[in-house]
Amino acid sequence: MDVEPLAIPDVKRIRLRRFNDARGFFQQTYNSEEYAAAGISIRFVQDNWSRTRRGVLRGLHYQYEYPQEKLVAVLRGEIFDVAVDLRRSSPTFGRWVGTVINAESGEQLYIPAGFAHGFLALSETVDLVYKCSDFYAPGDECGIRWNDPTIGVEWPVTTALIISEKDETLGTFVDAKLFE
């Protein structure tokens, strides 16, 4: 396993070993000892699966009282995945990082607690799975609009997007609950 810090070093791209042959491939998707050795030692308590179609943008979401670390992977298709640093004490506070991950590469993205997360489906169909370090808490949902000018995420597509009514009405970075 190869762990690559992105422009915000706490967000990491994880390249896993994949063994290919004429039958297909085998890839171990999680081993707590290997992740701990790479500096990612968290206890995941919940797995989520999202099926999304091309042009759907989900986010930017986070939980405040019960923040979640996430390990994101794409099982089918391709996404542009974004993490926004909401930790006031961080040198990268208010900055975002985005990267393309897809099923073909088998890569994962690790997002620590204290970040907002969102993604845009770039392929016809996307099956995205992610592990969370805390349970979903419906009363603790927070979010920031996908096109907040203070953050300035540079999405690869900005027209003909499909965004839920809930996500369209999210607040701004200036009004967001922020972490210390």
| Of residues 48, 93, 87, 52, the one with CA closest to residue 67 | 87
Quote the pTM value. 0.95
List, for residues 79-113, the tens digit of each pLDDT value: 999 999 999 999 999 999 999 999 999 999 999 99
For residue range 142-175, list pLDDT tens digits in order. Answer: 999 999 999 999 999 989 999 999 999 999 999 9
SS3 166: helix
Nearest to 54 by CA among 83, 82, 81, 78: 78
Domain boundaries, the chain: 43-168
Residue 27: beta bridge partners?
Answer: 18
Share of the chain above pLDDT 90, in %: 96
- Does the pLDDT of residue 123 top 90, yes or no? yes
8 Å CB contact between 121 and 86: no
Active site residues: 61, 130
Is the separation of the CB atoms in 101 and 78 below 8 Å?
A: yes
Strand (E) or helix (H) holding 15: strand 12-15
CATH tag, 43-168: 2.60.120.10
| Residue positions counted in the chain | 180
**What percentage of the chain exceeds 70 in pLDDT?**
100
Read off the pLDDT band of 27 (50, 70, 90): confident
Mean of the per-residue pLDDT values for the chain?
96
